[in-house]
Structure 1
């Protein structure tokens, strides 16, 4: 997974997604003669399972996964305090080309042999100064829309990737990530995965999330600090996916991020090693 699109240790808040259930309720209870108190309404006809067939088939063709889980992660990138955040999850793939999930929309733009290039639209949820005491007086970082691309080259169960994402609004920052990932089935039920990557951030991103200007310094009490462009973090993660049966799947992931360079030296960073744990249960159609 791309570090820019997945739930990153930069305190991205995942957005809630509502899933509506389709239902039909046949109802035929009106009496023909309201004056006849002994006339009873006809029994409702039993549900017809076949009427859900086209809907279920469409969900299967779209590779829909619906689930929910929880993330245990720092309150913000650099925090030494943690919080648990529940989240719903919906993912769907259309025409083997378009994928929609909580991180945004990914479109397969080009694929040839082992090479693939995707374009994506996502979001950066920003940061609230009320998230932690250390951020008091730092002001909020607004929500922003991200647009970018990702190039991937596959070698058997492994792949290497490079991604670039630009935020429109919010920090107005740019993130570039390079890394490698591997996914290997150990049995018909268990799949293990691992990923290693490094993320570069430009001046806008670094100043927004790690810098302290004169106004922020006066309000928060932190020393002024200018954070310049450079490598922001080195990230490692391991995952396990267990297929309970044909439909139900449970996935766990443990990630650790090492803040480096100007990000690590920021006065708002209380812990340079950031840990994130995720557990999710999903249903595949």
Structure 2
């Protein structure tokens, strides 16, 4: 198993998301400074809860790879203290809800797609063109048909840098809270347009000349993978929580038939990871979950 760390691109996405997320808190603080009104103790605005997470995940080195590496990255989330905490799957994109309530949400989302580089594995990828990392901003929507128990979520994103095209994810999660534990499991479907497919699974004439293990191949848009994801979170107290996660995806369609997958990689894509989070209040009177 090959281990490596990619921080820069993932951190750039997380920092961009944190700027968006922290802007409401900044506006709230400015309003508080500008106001001359004396607010009695206990009646002040409830403030905001900022959650800081450290994440580590082991995943395939590139889409369709058979070797694995790990990625470590930070993430942030923000909500009002008077809003109920809503469960999120560890494999959700970084998202910020713009509209909705406890049953549904619509907003913006972003993900990071790691690239594929010959320098990472010259033996396997010799002669194969590089596929650069990409940022994937987009929109998401989710709905809870059974409050706090069953969630349906969809994402539609557009790739920037590594490729220029559409990708999407559909997830269904069964969520069960048992004491301090929150357990979740559910199926996953990933779809991708031809730009994504040919960037990460296509084989050019030049690739085939320099690497005799592959033949020229043009990938088509469609379902990229189907799979399953599961997670378990333990809430130690109002501030600290830890999560373990696991997932399995089976490549399908053009992604599965690509010579890169069949001859150099694997259709079976596993992932496992863990995170720790710390929550604290910004503004307001004391701690309040």
Please, what TM-score do these two structures have when normalized by structure 1? 0.71
Residue in structure 1 matching 2:107, options 89, 94, 118 = 118
Q: Secondary structure at the match of 1:169?
A: coil
Residue in structure 2 matching 1:134, options 107, 124, 141 = 124
Q: Structure 1 residue 246 and structure 2 residue 238: aligned?
A: yes
Task: Write the mapping of 1:110-259 to structure 2, written as runs, cut at 5 A.
Answer: 110-111=99-100, 114-132=103-121, 133-155=123-145, 156=147, 157-187=149-179, 189-221=180-212, 222-259=214-251
Residue in structure 2 matching 1:65, options 46, 51, 54 = 51
Distance 2:133 2:112 in 1: 7
Counterpart in 1 of 2:268? Answer: 273
| Counterpart contact for 1:64–1:90, Cα < 8 Å | no
Distance 1:228 1:175 in 2: 13
RMSD: 2.9
| Counterpart contact for 1:162–1:178, Cα < 8 Å | yes
More helix by percentage:
2
Q: Secondary structure at the match of 1:63?
A: strand
Q: Secondary structure at the match of 1:206?
A: helix
Counterpart in 2 of 1:76? Answer: 62
Q: Secondary structure at the match of 2:199?
A: helix
Deviations 1:54-101 (A, max 9, x none): xxxxxx94432334343222222222222234x1423121557xxxx9
Q: Cα–Cα, structure 1 residues 263 and 183, in superposed 2: closer, same or farther, change >3 Å?
A: same
Residue in structure 2 matching 1:264, options 256, 262, 275 = 256
Structure 2 residue runs without a partner (length 5+): 19-45, 84-89, 281-289
Number of residues of Structure 1 aligned to a counterpart in Structure 2: 229
Counterpart in 1 of 2:77? Answer: 92
Shift of 1:169: 2.6
CA radius of gyration, larger in: 1
Counterpart in 2 of 1:46? Answer: none
RCO comparison, higher one (Cα < 8 Å, 6+): 2
Counterpart in 2 of 1:15? Answer: 10
Please, what TM-score do these two structures have when normalized by structure 2? 0.70
| Counterpart contact for 2:95–2:140, Cα < 8 Å | no
Distance 2:163 2:131 in 1: 7
Distance 1:245 1:261 in 2: 45
